[in-house]
Structure 1
Amino acid sequence: MITDGSVRVGNRGVAYTEVGDPEGPLVLHNHGGPSSRIEAELFDVGATARGLRFVCPDRPGFGRSDPHPDRSFESWARDLVAIADSVGAQRFAVTGWSEGGPWALAAAAYVAPARLAHVASIGGAAYGAFGANWAAKHLSSADALGGRLALHFHPGFRLMYDVLGLTAKHFEASYATSIRKAVSDVDREVLADDAVMEPFLRASHECFRHGAGGLVLDATLLYQTWPFDLTQVTRPVHVWHGDADTLVPEVIGRTVAERTPGGVWHPVAGEGHFIAVSHCDEVLSLVAGDLATA
């Protein structure tokens, strides 16, 4: 079952897509970038099989969510709690894929353990976790350049995402081709399934409904030094990463798991960035288990 909804958080609207079992325990999923709430559709089968209510909100300035120029990691963690409150969930889980991984990690730092039953970062782009753009030496030349622009030449960073948005919205075939070229062979096999590629492309297109501003702010915060310290997070934090990930190299996730006291490392041999899809059952099985004992 796939439905759309929205909640009010202060004077802002936050839109979301919900899949899975509407009566099940709540999972709040942080989408990647460029992506949006539509990413939830990729998890419908897995969430339904596990009896989970899987909700993916658009972050501010993405899709149908209102912009929030002053947002932060902490304010988004508060938004997640507000969404859980709005649907009557006292305990919930948080997941995040790719650019959504850091926002899941922020929940581990800012949300009270009494509310949060499980945290999972999947192929997380933790570029500012241990200092501004600390992971640059591990990134592709394009992503490392993005970090430098985010920190030192914001007009160039904005232009980069304006061009990306133009391509995603108006030149879908070119956008799809560029994604296929950037990922590993095993990821190309995942994307060969129209049931994956079609919602993935729609999620990317929807990201730019308001233009590139939401994504620019999102990515800027990821590259800057994070305001929370993962080395002080002792609650369990599940970190999933494929060793064939060409978008976010495995060393980034491994370092997060090693330096986070509560880190639980889940390496996935021979798999790439799209493990969130290919290993959805394994990820959600652990989520469901923790929610069942909450």
Structure 2
Amino acid sequence: MNTMGVYIVQFDRAGYGGSDPNPKRSLRSEASDIEELANYLELGSKFYIIGFSMGSYPTWSCIKHLSHRLVGVAFVAPIVNYQWPSLPESVLKDDERKKWYKRMTLVARYAPKLLHWWINRKTSQSSSTDGTKPTYFTDKDLELLKNAPGFQFLTADKLKSRSVFNNLRSDFLVAFSKWDFDPLELSNPFSENDKRPVHIWHGCEDRFINLKLQRHVSERLPWIQYHEVHDGGHLLIYDTAVCEAILKSLLLGEDTPLYTPKFTS
């Protein structure tokens, strides 16, 4: 990063870190917060955005509403919302995650107390002394966490807090409810002379996001450059080699043959 002269601002979305909660958060409000922060810090008329995991939905909103402020974008392990209207049933029919996300969205919306109880119960079980490992992280993810002391995941103790849970709930509902636009219908907001300034990075072993869905997104949006990390899980951004490749491809336009996807449409 020093060689490239990179200046990174880590943005705490509403309710995370030092940011105040926003119970009325929306796709548009998250993009507006990013623009307001960029203006306050005088980052210039244009800037790059890297959106990781749940942070991808504000990033899609920035492409939709703030493309005139963007130089380039990198999605890292981005979510795919099953309610995007143009996702074909042929891609969704064998995806068990769809049922899970649908149930979680309904319970989060109509029975939040029940969901809070269930999450506390599950996290307490997984953090017990029986050696059980979280099933949603791969072994490589867990190794990466050992070397990421600053990683502030929602631990069992934190989730007992009603305010932490309420923030996570509102975040989840915005991410997986109906949006005011369909990302799969977006056209390239950048100049055709630009060398595909938008990137998606996905780990083939990611247990949160279906690989098949991510590949479908890349096929539907050919103006996005798609990369796959063969042995990568969900926490790609904490892998030093992968993170360096993400920055070089985004900022310098470098090719990344090691992460070229190997699949046919």
Q: Same fold (TM over 0.5)?
A: yes
Which residue of the partner structure matches residue 101 of structure 1?
Answer: 56
* 1:237 equivalent among 185, 198, 210: 198
132-141 or 152-161, which deviates more: 132-141
Matches within 5 A, 1:9-48: 47-48=1-2
SS of 1:56's equivalent? coil
Structure 1 alignment gaps of length 5 or more: 1-46
Give yes or no for contact 1:243–1:269 (8 Å, CA) kept in 2: yes
Residue type at the aligned position of 1:89: L
Maintained 8 Å contact 1:238/1:264: yes
Task: Determine helix, strand or coil for the equivalent of 1:211.
Answer: helix
Question: Using a 3 Å threshold, how does the CA distance of structure 1 residues 163 and 274 change in structure 2: closer, same or farther?
Answer: same
- Aligned with residue 219 of structure 2, among 231, 247, 258: 258
Match of 1:220 in 2: 173
- Using the alignment, how far apart are the partners of 2:216 and 2:63 within structure 1? 17
Deviation per CA, 1:41-78: give whole Å up to 9, x if none: xxxxxx45543222222221223311222221112111
Report if the CA contact (8 A) 1:246-1:273 is conserved. yes
Q: Which amino acid aligns with 1:104?
A: T
Task: Indicate whether 1:190 and 2:144 are aligned.
Answer: yes
Deviation for aligned residue 1:161 = 4.7
Distance in 2 (alpha carbons) for counterparts of 1:161 and 1:211: 10
Paired letter, 1:93:
Y
Given candidates 150, 161, 165, the residue that maps to 1:199 is 150
SS at match of 1:57: coil
Structure-2 separation of matches of 1:165 and 1:89: 40
Structure with more of its chain in strand, by fraction: 1
Name the CA distance, whole Å, in 2 between partners of 1:251 and 1:67.
Answer: 34
Shift of residue 164, structure 1, vs aligned partner: 3.7
CA, structure 1 residues 138+159, in 2 after alignment: closer, same or farther (shift >3 Å)? farther
Residue 95 of structure 1: SS of its match in structure 2?
A: strand
Q: TM-score, normalised by structure 1?
A: 0.67
Cα distance, 1:111 vs. partner?
Answer: 0.6
Cα separation, 1, equivalents of 2:2 and 2:213: 31
Q: TM-score, normalised by structure 2?
A: 0.74
Contact 1:92 1:117 in 2 (8 A): yes
2:228 is the counterpart of 1:267: yes
Q: Percentage identity across aligned positions? A: 25
**CA contact 1:62–1:210 (8 Å) conserved in 2:** no
**Alignment length, in residue pairs?**
236
Residue 79 of structure 2 corresponds to residue 125 of structure 1 = yes
* Aligned: 1:83 with 2:34: no
Could you tell me which of 95, 111, 116 is aligned with 2:70?
116
Query: 3-state DSSP class of the match of 1:126?
Result: coil
